[in-house]
Amino acid sequence: MTPAQVTLVQESFAKVAPISEQAAIIFYDRLFEVAPTVKAMFPADMTEQRRKLMATLVAVVNGLSNLEAVLPAASALAKRHASYGAKPAHYPVVGAALLWTLEKGLGDAWTSDVADAWTAAYGTLSGYMISEAYGTIEAAE
């Protein structure tokens, strides 16, 4: 990720933060719509899960300027996700639901540059998390 992309992610997320509760609802609704089988990995009451999602996004987005500081938490999160039954194939689906949610939340502020920045951020983190949870990306496929 370039410094400009980090700035775009952080600035765009700041616009979503005020509607974080609604954004989390939209995200999980979209995720369960496109990947209904993953719903079984989540609790019936999603209130706490939605809060955890947004708290994690805040930490990651704020940490993008110093990615090395975020990586230990990302590694632990990836391993927890694997223990819940998450597979490497779930990561692109989650990423697509996240980008879709951001697009809906940002409206006209969702530009191609913002989309590219978020795609780069998610790709960097998800690739790292997959390698941490499952070994090399090639071994996970």
* CATH number, position 31: 1.10.490.10
State the Cα torsion 110-137-36-48 to the nearest 10°: -70
pLDDT reported for residue 139: 45
Residue span of the structural domain in which 84 resides: 3-140
pLDDT reported for residue 1: 87
User: 46 by DSSP, 3-state: which?
Assistant: coil
pLDDT reported for residue 109: 95
Amino acid at 121: A
User: 135 by DSSP, 3-state: which?
Assistant: coil
Burial of 116-130, coded b for 16+ CB within 10 Å and e otherwise, reads ebbebbbeebbebbb
Tell me how many domains the chain contains.
1
Q: Is the pLDDT of residue 141 over 50?
A: no
Whole-number Å distance between alpha carbons of 58 and 19: 13
